[in-house]
C-alpha cells in the first residue's frame, strides 16, 4: 500500500463528521446508510432537499449520531429541532419567532452561529 493511500485511509477512519447536501429525502437515507457508520456528527443542508421527509425517522435510525441542521429557512430549522436534531446552524440575518425559541428550549437543541443565547 502506497504512503499516500495509507494516509488517506487513516484520515477517513478518523473522520468525525460529514456534511451532506442531498437533493431528496431518499438520497439522504442512502447517503447515511453508506457513510454514517464512520462518523460521529452528521451535518445536513436542508435547503437543497426538494422532497423533505420526516426528519425524525433519520434521527431515530441513527441514535448514536449527532445531527446538525443547516438552513436559511426558519420553518426547516424548526422541523429539524422537533425531529430531535442536536444542533442547528442559525444564519445571522434570520429572525427567530417565539414558537421556534420555545421548541429549541424544550428540545434542548444547541444553536450554532449568530444565536448562541435565546434570552
12-38: per-residue pLDDT in tens? 444 588 888 888 888 888 888 887 778
Domain residue limits at 22: 16-113
Residue 102 lies in a domain: yes
Is residue 5 a part of any domain in this protein? no
Q: Considering the domain boundaries, does residue 42 fall inside one?
A: yes
Total number of domains in the chain = 1
Identify the pLDDT of residue 119: 56
Model pTM score: 0.79
Is 61 inside a domain boundary?
A: yes
Exposed/middle/buried for residue 110 (C-beta within 10 Å: 0-12, 13-18, 19+): middle
Confidence band, pLDDT 50/70/90 cuts, at residue 89: very high
The mean of the pLDDT values for the chain is: 82
CATH code for the domain in which residue 58 is found = 3.20.20.20
Q: How far from the centroid of its chain's Cα atoms is residue 18's Cα?
A: 9
Residue the block writes with cell 420555545: 102
| Rounded mean pLDDT, 47-54 | 78
Q: Is 7 part of any domain?
A: no
66-70/41-45 β-pairing: parallel
Q: Is residue 25 part of a domain?
A: yes
Amino acid at each position: 500500500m502506497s504512503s499516500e493511500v495509507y494516509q488517506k485511509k487513516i484520515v477517513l477512519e478518523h473522520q468525525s463528521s460529514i456534511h451532506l447536501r442531498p437533493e431528496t429525502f431518499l438520497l439522504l437515507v442512502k447517503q447515511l446508510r453508506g457513510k454514517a457508520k464512520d462518523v460521529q456528527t452528521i451535518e445536513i443542508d436542508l435547503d437543497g432537499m426538494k422532497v423533505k421527509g420526516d426528519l425524525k425517522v433519520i434521527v431515530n435510525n441513527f441514535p448514536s449520531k449527532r445531527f446538525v441542521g443547516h438552513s436559511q429557512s426558519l420553518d426547516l430549522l424548526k422541523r429539524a429541532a422537533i425531529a430531535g436534531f442536536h444542533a442547528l446552524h442559525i444564519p445571522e440575518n434570520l429572525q427567530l419567532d417565539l414558537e421556534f425559541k420555545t421548541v429549541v428550549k424544550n428540545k434542548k437543541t444547541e444553536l450554532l452561529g449568530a444565536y448562541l443565547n435565546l434570552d
